[in-house]
Amino acid sequence: MRVRTRTRTAIAVALAATALLAGCTAGAPGAGGGQAEGDKGVLTVGMPNGPQTDNSNPFLGTSAGASLGYRHMIYEPLVMVNGVRPAEKGTPWLASEWKWSDNYRKLTLTVQDGPTWSDGKEFSAGDVEFTFRLLKENEALNTNAIPYDGISRKGDTVELTFPESQFVNQSKILTTFVVPEHIWSKVENPETWPNKKPVGTGPYTLKTFTPQTITLTARDTYWQEKPKVEELRYTSYNDNNAQTTALANGTCEWSFVFTPDYEKIYVSKDPEHHKLWFPSGLGVHGLWFNTAKKPFDDPALRRAINHVVDREAIHVRAQATLYPEIESVTGIPLPAGEPFIAPEYKGEKQEVDVEAAKKELEKAGYTLSGGVLKDPSGKPVTMTLTDPAGWSDYLTGLSIIKDNVKQIGIEAKVRTQTVDAWTTAMNEGDFDASLHWTNSGATPYDMYQHVMDGELYQPLGKAAPGGNFGRFRNEAATKALKEYANASDESTRTEALNELQRIMVEEVPLIATAAAPIGAEYSTRNWVGWPSESDPYAPPQPTQPNSLDVVLHLRPAS
């Protein structure tokens, strides 16, 4: 599986989803070049995303700024939200205060006094008001599909109203990039504008751009404490191997890349300084069933398969222990999701239980004879597991699942596709089962909504790019999702989320196989202050919004 930025909230996310350097090497990415290690004041960042187009539009997930993550160093959010601890209150940023009212249908923002734009112009509440109007009027920029209604300003406050509760979209709204009205108001087509000379309130400005290397330099006039990192050098490497090599030899200090056998390939090259931390958010990777096709429309069969999937083997062999294990039977990642677990599922862990699977099948009318499972009509149960060629972690996971289901008489085969063909097949429901990620958000709602929302349902053959790829139809799930999103009190919301967990456990529309990590590899040779398990102030991934907070925490190692 390739690394994806998490804009699929995704995604978003997503994902989403789904990460930063210029000049990690002296030559083209992957050339094994020779930049002097540890240039004073410089932090080198990289992603394995190939040549970039000169585009720094912060709202576009396809821009170089999004692909490498440097947009977060130039444009700032209203509030900094910690993706590792999403239930925590955010940190004031361009907004000094914020208040939700009318059951999350009204948001009042008090805009910070002091920031300036990097071109020297004053920042004001007018810029915040303009930004939200820009998003409301340009659908392609409003990637989270927020239903903005009224937008008004009075002094240093901006008021937003919505036609329905935005409880589930709080973080998406509060982490909106703010752009300067004096520049963007003159842009004729903001949805396609490449914004080659970005002006933001953030601590860095764009110095140079090439398809391989992007350099940012720190501002002297930043409104908060000036960062100790004077220059950020982003390189976009051609592939995972080139990126991993750069991390191992020290020419790149910060990245998010899947690295099999990371202890040998990366950590062992400099055990004292080569670190990694892969915490989970509230999204997962999992085996999606096409519930519109027989026999996968049968929850008993899905429950049986869930009983035999060896998540520990997937964790060790497919994901090299980088992706956090899924333990809860609800599929909710821990510890991020601990506050949301329903009382009846607290402490209930996923375990391989072949005998339980066989009993489940027998009760539902299946027969197992001569090592072959037959459905109640007498037809042998087979399945095709699909994912893109080259996504080694997913394909190894499918191979493990293939062996797992053989224990209950299911003959499975693994088939690969191109990324485009696989994406089309997932969207149109042309598959039996496939490993795929889910959306992630501040609560488990985003994950469950992506998997179970009946409002996203499309019949086989009609694209459903918004989610519910498995064509799962359950009126109780759709009702609970609506109740959660529009609840006026916490007890109603909790009850709805508990119902979603019950449906996930009993109906198994998806088998969660791993938490979706928001992690990174980083070096402490030149810089310290990185987030870690003992200090989880932010996810460490360089394409996440919190990457700005990470850089502002960094200090020279000596």
Structural domain boundaries in the chain = 75-185, 202-279+519-556, 280-517
Residue 261: pLDDT band by 50, 70, 90 thresholds?
confident
CATH node for 75-185: 3.90.76.10
Helix (H, G, I), strand (E, B) or coil at 411: strand
Token duo for residue 156: 């240093």
Asked if pLDDT for residue 544 goes beyond 80, the answer is yes
Mean pLDDT of 290-301: 98
Q: Is the dihedral of CA 428, 439, 135, 192 positive or negative?
A: negative
State mean pLDDT over 328-333.
Answer: 97
- Average pLDDT in the 202-230 region? 97
Residue 245's pLDDT band (cuts 50, 70, 90)? very high
Is the Cβ–Cβ distance between 279 and 338 less than 8 Å?
A: no
Between 328 and 1, the more confident residue is 328
- pLDDT at position 84 is 86
CB 324 within 8 A of CB 514: yes
- Contact in structure between 397 and 314 (CB atoms under 8 Å): yes
Confidence of residue 33 (pLDDT cuts 50, 70, 90): very low
Instruction: Write out pLDDT tens, residues 382-429.
Output: 999 999 987 888 999 999 999 999 999 999 999 999 988 998 999 999
Among 17-26, 230-239, 538-547, the minimum mean pLDDT is found in 17-26
The confidence score (pLDDT) of residue 88 equals 86
Cα–Cα nearest to 471, from 485, 484, 453, 483: 453
Distance, in Å, from the CA atom of 20 to the CA atom of 12, rounded to the nearest integer, reads: 18
Dump pLDDT digits (tens) for 472-519.
999 999 999 999 999 999 999 999 999 999 999 999 999 999 998 899
φ, ψ of residue 224 in degrees (nearest 5)? -105, -175
Supply the mean pLDDT for the chain.
Answer: 91
| More confident position, 9 or 247 | 247
Rounded to an integer, what distance in angstroms lies between the CA atom of residue 21 and that of residue 342?
Answer: 42
Looking at domain 202-279+519-556, its CATH superfamily turns out to be Periplasmic binding protein-like II (3.40.190.10)
Confidence of residue 16 (pLDDT cuts 50, 70, 90): very low
pLDDT mean over 159-167: 96
Query: Matching CATH topology for 202-279+519-556 and 280-517?
Result: no
Q: Which amino acid is present at 494?
A: T
Residue 211 structure tokens: 């398809």
Residue 144's pLDDT band, with cuts at 50, 70 and 90, is confident
Q: In this predicted structure, what is the pLDDT of residue 402?
A: 98
Q: Domain 280-517 adopts which CATH fold?
A: Dipeptide-binding Protein; domain 3 (3.10.105)
